[in-house]
Amino acid sequence: MNIVIAGAGDVGFHLATLLATENHDIILIDNDQDVLDYAGSHLDVLTVRGDATSMAILNQARVPGSDLLLAVTTSEKTNMMSAIIAKKLGCRSVIARVDNEEYMYEEHTDIICSLGIDQVISPRQLASDEISRLIKQCSFTDIFEFENGKLSLVGITLDDDSPLVGIRLSDISHLQSKVDLYPIAILRGHKTIIPRGFTQLQRQDHIYFITKPDKQALLEEFVGKKKRSVNSIMILGGTNLGISTARLLQNDYNVTIVETKKSRCQYINEQLSNVLVIKGEYNNIELLKEEGLDKMDAFIALTGNSETNIISCLTARNHGVYKTIAQVENKEYTHISQNIGVDTLINKKLLAANKIFHHIRKGNIQAITSLHGVDAEVIEYQITKTNRITKKKVKDLHFPETALIGGVIRGSETLIPNGNTQLQIGDQVIVFALPQAIKRLEELFR
pLDDT given at position 200? 93
Residue 126 domain-assigned (yes or no): no
Domain count, the chain: 4
The residue out of 62, 88, 121 marking a domain boundary is 121
Q: Which residues contact 103 (CB under 8 A, 6 or more apart)?
A: 112, 120, 122
Query: Is the pLDDT reported for residue 375 higher than 90?
Result: no
Domain with residue 293: its CATH number is 3.40.50.720
Is the pLDDT at 378 greater than 70, yes or no?
yes
In DSSP terms, 256 is beta-bridged to 234, 276
What's the rounded mean pLDDT across residues 312-317?
94
What is the distance between the alpha carbons of residues 16 and 54, in angstroms, rounded to a whole number?
21
Other Cβ atoms less than 10 A from the Cβ of 32: the count is: 12
**Do the Cβ atoms of 199 and 109 come closer than 8 Å?**
no
The answer on 199 and 159 residing in a single domain is: yes
Smallest CA-to-CA distance from 256 within 264, 267, 268 is with: 268
On whether the CB atoms of residues 117 and 80 are closer than 8 A, the answer is: yes
Co-location of 347 and 259 in the same domain = yes
Claim to verify: residue 6 and residue 117 sit in the same structural domain: yes
pLDDT surpasses 80 at 357: no
pLDDT digit string, tens, across residues 226-238: 777 899 999 999 9
- pLDDT for 381: 83
Nearest C-alpha neighbor of 147 from the set 386, 423, 404, 408: 408
Closest by alpha carbon to 88, among 59, 119, 51?
59
Residue 203 · residue 158 · CB < 8 Å: yes
User: Of the given ranges (195-199, 385-389, 397-401), which has the lowest mean pLDDT?
Assistant: 385-389
Task: Summarize pLDDT for 154-198 with one digit per residue, the tens.
Answer: 888 888 888 889 989 888 876 666 667 788 888 887 788 888 889
Domain hosting residue 283, numbered range: 232-351
- For residues 31 and 101, state if they share a domain: yes
Can you tell me the distance from the alpha carbon of 235 to that of 254, in angstroms, rounded to the nearest whole number? 11
Q: Strands of 189-238 (E only): list them.
A: 191-193, 206-211, 232-236
Closest CA to 69 of 43, 44, 88: 88
Residue 320 pLDDT grade (very low, low, confident, very high; cuts 50, 70, 90): very high
Predicted local confidence at residue 294, as pLDDT: 94
Same domain assignment for residues 236 and 346: yes
Give the end of a domain, one of 223, 253, 287: 223
Q: Please name the helix (run of DSSP H) or strand (run of DSSP E) that holds residue 119, with its range, or none.
A: strand 119-121
Q: Are residues 242 and 212 in the same domain?
A: no
15, containing H or E segment: helix 10-20
| Residue 116 and residue 8 share a domain | yes
Report pLDDT for 269.
95
pLDDT band at 400 (very low <50, low <70, confident <90, very high): confident
**Half-sphere exposure of residue 302: CA atoms within 13 angstroms, side-chain side:** 26
Q: Which has the minimum average pLDDT: 259-263, 291-295, 324-328, 393-397?
A: 393-397
Provide the CATH number for the domain around residue 158: 3.30.70.1450
Domain co-membership, 177 together with 261: no
* Residue 133 lies inside a defined structural domain of this protein: no
pLDDT at 297 over 50: yes
Of 63-72, 116-125, 247-256, 324-333, which gets the smallest average pLDDT? 324-333
Pick the closest to residue 372 from 148, 154, 151, 126 (CA basis).
154
Do 302 and 245 contact (CB within 8 A), yes or no? yes
Please give the model's pTM, rounded to 2 decimal places: 0.77
**Same domain, yes or no, for 273 and 240?**
yes
360 domain residue, yes or no = no
Quick one: pLDDT at residue 187? 86
Task: Look at residue 363 and tell me whether its pLDDT is greater than 50.
Answer: no
- CB–CB of 79/115 below 8 Å? no
Q: Are residues 216 and 241 in the same domain?
A: no
Say how many C-beta atoms besides its own lie within 10 A of residue 382's C-beta.
Answer: 17
Q: If residue 349 lies in a helix (H) or strand (E), which one and from where to where?
A: helix 348-360
Which helix (H) or strand (E) is 125 found in, with range? helix 123-136
Measured distance CA(204)–CA(191) in Å, rounded: 13
If asked whether residues 334 and 242 sit together in one domain, one would say yes
> Residues 116, 143: one domain?
no
Once rounded to an integer, what is the mean pLDDT over residues 383-406? 83
Q: How long is the chain?
A: 446
Q: List all residues 6 or more positions away from 398 whose beta carbon is below 8 Å from its beta carbon.
A: none
Residue 362 lies in a domain: no
Residue ending a domain, among 223, 250, 265, is 223
